[in-house]
Amino acid sequence: MGHGAFEQTYAASEDRYEKMEYRRAGASGLDLSAFSFGLWQKFGTDYPYETQREIVLHAFDLGITHFDNADRYGPPHRAAQKCLGKVLAKDLAPHRDELLLSTKAGNPIGPGPYQKGGSRKSLLSSLDHSLRDLGTDYVDIFYSHSPDESTPLEETVGALVSAVQQGKALYVALSNYQPERAHQAAELLREAGVPLLVHQPRYSIFDRTPENSGLLELAQQDGFGLVVYSPLAQGLLTDKYLKGVPSGARAENSAFLSPDVIDDTYRQRASALNDLAAQRGQSLAQLALQWVLRRPEVTSALIGASSVWQLDHNVEALQFPPLTDDELAVIEQHGIHGTGLKK
């Protein structure tokens, strides 16, 4: 590498904004890329940095502007933020104003009483730590990662408001909140003049919770967008498991997916969906991504990637014609809520 190793080597793709669709987040003035890039998995120290860097830069070249992080992501905790911070410092620094960086606090990151939960102390000290990890003065979106029933909602919301008032975050968000508590938080935030930008739930053809819980209606009512995670159901909505569990697959060693959910019922439903995708000239993954993005309440779908190819493939979902009523009916028939979810 020599002494010039830290010179700028990355040049962003000139046509990056022509490849992506941008969608307005709820009633805000902010557009998000239809796909957001998540560093939830494969951005710890157990994966090679060069691969991680290549994927992040490629995501930006595809027009993905929103990079989703959390203090917990690793392993170890905070490693994913440090990884992104390194790419920012070396490659993406000239583009900071084109990026939406988000992070989250509140899920456990250590044994101490302030390393978890929705207290003011926990959220704001985590945010300061995240800014150091990322090497940036502010994040664009700061999330309460999950509800903390043991802390007054007013305190959690107050900490989010302070983050904005202190210039450490531009917008605030929630993740994994039940609709009733999300609505209460949205009301408190509105009163404080810091409206709730987005809520991040899990949503896919096999996990219909946002439809069943009323969250989709609430998003429209309260004017926030949805950034949905696990739209591919941890790989169950890809062709990976149609014939069983391949060696090295996530179901073998994941805390979020167990091999026993890959049963005949799952295979029959996924195969039927895969057949529909094939008739449309696309993959099951592309069908599943298009399906979540068809909802006006959904601003963006979070995708991860272990390769540049996978990223290209998923983003290509935007190129296919809309799903017809007949096709949506077939998806309803086979896309049964709870399929493949850990019992």
CATH number for the domain including 90? 3.20.20.100
- Please state the rounded mean pLDDT for residues 240-254: 80
Lowest mean pLDDT among 62-66, 203-207, 212-216, 337-341: 337-341
- Please state the rounded mean pLDDT for residues 135-139: 98
- Please state the rounded mean pLDDT for residues 145-173: 98
pLDDT at 343 over 60: no
Residue ranges of the alpha helices (H) in 223-283?
Answer: 250-253, 264-279
pLDDT at 248 over 90: no
Angle of helix 264-279 relative to helix 325-334, nearest 10 degrees, comes to 170
> 85 lies in a domain?
yes
Burial degree of 290 (CB within 10 A; 0-12, 13-18, 19+): buried
| Cβ–Cβ under 8 Å, residues 55 and 305 | yes
> 101 lies in a domain?
yes
- Please state the rounded mean pLDDT for residues 63-73: 98
Identify the pLDDT of residue 246.
Answer: 80
What angle (nearest 5°) sits at the alpha carbon of residue 237, between those of residues 233 and 238?
125
> pLDDT category, 3, cuts 50, 70, 90?
very low
Range of the domain at 46: 19-233+292-307
Q: Which residues pair with 67 in a beta bridge?
A: 37, 101
Q: Which residues pair with 139 in a beta bridge?
A: 169
> pLDDT category, 243, cuts 50, 70, 90?
confident
Q: What is the SS3 assignment for 214?
A: coil
**What is the Cα–Cα distance from 173 to 151, expressed in whole angstroms?**
17
Q: Please provide the DSSP assignment of 233-247 as one string.
A: GGGTTSGGGTTS--T
> pLDDT category, 12, cuts 50, 70, 90?
very high
Query: Measuring CA to CA, which residue among 60, 278, 9 is closest to residue 270?
Result: 278
> 49 lies in a domain?
yes
> 53 lies in a domain?
yes
> 327 lies in a domain?
no
Identify the pLDDT of residue 10.
Answer: 96
Tell me which DSSP letter residue 97 carries.
Answer: G
Residue 241: CB atoms within 10 A of its CB come to: 24
pLDDT at 283 over 80: yes
* Mean pLDDT of all residues belonging to the chain: 95
Identify the pLDDT of residue 298.
Answer: 98
Identify the pLDDT of residue 249.
Answer: 78
Radius of gyration of the chain (CA): 20
> 278 lies in a domain?
no
Query: Measuring CA to CA, which residue among 198, 187, 197 is closest to residue 153?
Result: 187
> pLDDT category, 1, cuts 50, 70, 90?
very low
| Cβ–Cβ under 8 Å, residues 287 and 20 | no
pTM to 2 decimals?
0.95
> 50 lies in a domain?
yes
> 180 lies in a domain?
yes
- Please state the rounded mean pLDDT for residues 151-157: 98
- Domains of the chain: total: 1
pLDDT at 253 over 80: no
pLDDT at 6 over 70: no
